[in-house]
Amino acid sequence: MKTIHLLMLGLIFTGLCLNTAQGHGNIHNVEEAAHENEDKLVILWTSDDPYLAERMVLMYGHAAKTAGWFEEVTLIIWGPSAKLAAENQPVREKLFQMQEDGVQIEACVVCADAYEVTQALQELGFDVKPMGRPLSDYLKAGIKVLTF
């Protein structure tokens, strides 16, 4: 009976050691991912307010890239911002400038379809696609996501 108890204790100890080692491995991987993604910014733009767009979302997003505050900047057009991006000429011009300066612009196809602006956003050269998975991936990767 004593042998069985010692054997069980040994197995439990071994299991704890393995779980602890795996846990440290996961922490290390999370730390590596966080370090790898510390210079990436995703801006999730959902508002149809043109003043917010021009005076905050697009202004900061553009400066974050051109001033070197972040190496990679991605702007996601989601919800009502899809209609504004497709139809407002000053906003469109700013988006073009941002794209020329290296900001990646993505748009939610479901939202664009809802506002009937998918073709317009595609013609502007934006990456129009399902965005639920990419946004989830950005969040899971520890990338900074700023929402407006």
CATH number at residue 142: 3.40.1260.10
| Distances from the Cα of 148 to the Cα of 11, 129, 135, angstroms | 52, 20, 14
Residue 127 domain boundaries: 39-147
Mean pLDDT of 54-66: 98
Are residues 80 and 18 both part of a single domain?
no
pLDDT at 21 over 80: no
Q: Taking a C-beta distance cutoff of 8 angstroms, is the pair 91, 85 a contact?
A: yes
User: Which segments of 1-148 does DSSP mark as H helices, in order?
Assistant: 2-36, 50-52, 58-66, 81-87, 89-100, 109-114, 118-123, 132-140
Q: Distance between alpha carbon 96 and the CA centroid of its chain, in Å?
A: 20
Are residues 71 and 27 both part of a single domain?
no
Are residues 84 and 108 both part of a single domain?
yes
What pTM does this model have? Answer: 0.78
CA 128, CA 118: separation in Å to the nearest integer?
A: 7
Asked whether the CA dihedral 100, 60, 57, 139 is positive or negative, the reply is positive
| Distances from the Cα of 135 to the Cα of 87, 99, 107, 141, 144, angstroms | 24, 19, 11, 10, 11
Question: Both tokens of residue 144?
Answer: 């900074």
Mean pLDDT of 107-131: 98
pLDDT at 30 over 70: no
Are residues 94 and 135 both part of a single domain?
yes
Are residues 30 and 78 both part of a single domain?
no
Least confident interval from 13-17, 37-41, 60-64:
13-17
CA 123, CA 91: separation in Å to the nearest integer?
A: 15
Are residues 125 and 92 both part of a single domain?
yes
Are residues 73 and 136 both part of a single domain?
yes
Domain tally, the chain: 2
Are residues 28 and 52 both part of a single domain?
no
